[in-house]
């Protein structure tokens, strides 16, 4: 079993955490990968550790784990649930296919380009096999469903996803021990979902947009003030 699978299974066994795996595939076939590990603060208390100590300890596990050299690892303490987040960007689907984390989950994938369409088909899900067969995984954990969520900036022509959020163009694959689907398949076309791209841009740059908007309003108000003042002075003269 590969080291990433061991790491994830160990986290599941020790902390009863929730794993969320998100991908964003842009219109240029760039891939942004995000792995979230959510842990209830009540669970952390059971291990005689403060929340900051727990987050630092497991963040360090990610950072020193072989294959994570290029990941940015962050963590955040919440009121009831805290999380660790590992992110990495890839310049293409081919680079992502050859990455450490992908090979730990699926080993390999086939990318086929026909005209303006791109098909991506993974091999068998190795993480699914670990859930089914690993003795470290408790029954309660083995019975959970884990999600792989992929957001696309292009329209999807075909897929084998379990759930689709059409508004945000997010496709979800469920991983559990009872699934009969052990791979991921999608085919993207040339048409771009600009609405999704714009909403992402706004969300990712919300603070900057607010600041620029406030400055713009300030300039308009200030200009209007001086205009009115100059006009009144001219009327007096």
pLDDT of 157 higher than 60: yes
Q: What pLDDT shows up at residue 224? A: 83
- What tokens appear for 66 in the block? 């072989």
Query: Residue 200: inside a domain, yes or no?
Result: no
Are residues 8 and 29 part of one domain?
A: yes
Query: Residue 62: inside a domain, yes or no?
Result: yes
Are residues 226 and 180 part of one domain?
A: no
Are residues 24 and 112 part of one domain?
A: yes
**Structural domain count of the chain:** 2
Q: What is the pLDDT of residues 105-145, one digit of tens each?
A: 777 889 999 999 999 998 876 655 555 555 444 444 555 66
Are residues 64 and 125 part of one domain?
A: yes
User: Rounded to the nearest 10 degrees, what angle do helices 126-133 and 3-15 cross at?
Assistant: 50
Are residues 142 and 228 part of one domain?
A: no
**Domain assignment of residue 232, given as a range:** 205-236
Are residues 217 and 117 part of one domain?
A: no
pLDDT of 3 higher than 50: no
Are residues 215 and 150 part of one domain?
A: no
Q: What is the pLDDT of residues 18-45, one digit of tens each?
A: 778 899 999 999 999 998 888 888 888 8
Are residues 185 and 151 part of one domain?
A: yes
């Amino acid at each position: 079993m590969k080291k990433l699978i061991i790491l994830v299974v160990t986290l599941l066994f020790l902390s009863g955490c929730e794993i969320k795996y998100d991908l964003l595939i842009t219109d240029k076939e760039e891939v942004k990968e995000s792995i979230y590990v959510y842990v209830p603060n009540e669970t952390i208390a059971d291990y005689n550790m403060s929340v900051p100590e727990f987050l630092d300890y497991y963040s360090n596990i990610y950072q020193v784990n072989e294959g994570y050299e290029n990941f940015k690892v962050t963590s955040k303490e919440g009121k009831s649930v805290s999380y660790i987040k590992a992110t990495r960007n890839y310049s293409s689907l081919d680079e992502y296919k050859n990455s450490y984390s992908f090979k730990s989950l699926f080993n390999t994938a086939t990318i086929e380009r026909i005209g303006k369409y791109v098909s991506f088909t993974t091999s068998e899900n190795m993480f699914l096999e670990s859930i089914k067969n690993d003795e470290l995984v408790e029954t309660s954990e083995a019975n959970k469903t884990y999600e792989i969520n992929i957001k696309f900036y292009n329209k999807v022509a075909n897929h084998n996803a379990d759930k689709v959020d059409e508004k945000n163009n997010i496709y979800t694959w469920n991983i559990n021990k009872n699934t009969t689907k052990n791979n991921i398949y999608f085919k993207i076309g040339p048409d771009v979902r600009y609405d999704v791209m714009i909403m992402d841009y706004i969300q990712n740059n919300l603070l900057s947009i607010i600041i620029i908007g406030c400055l713009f309003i300030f300039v308009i108000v200030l200009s209007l003030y001086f205009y009115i003042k100059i006009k009144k002075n001219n009327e007096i003269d």
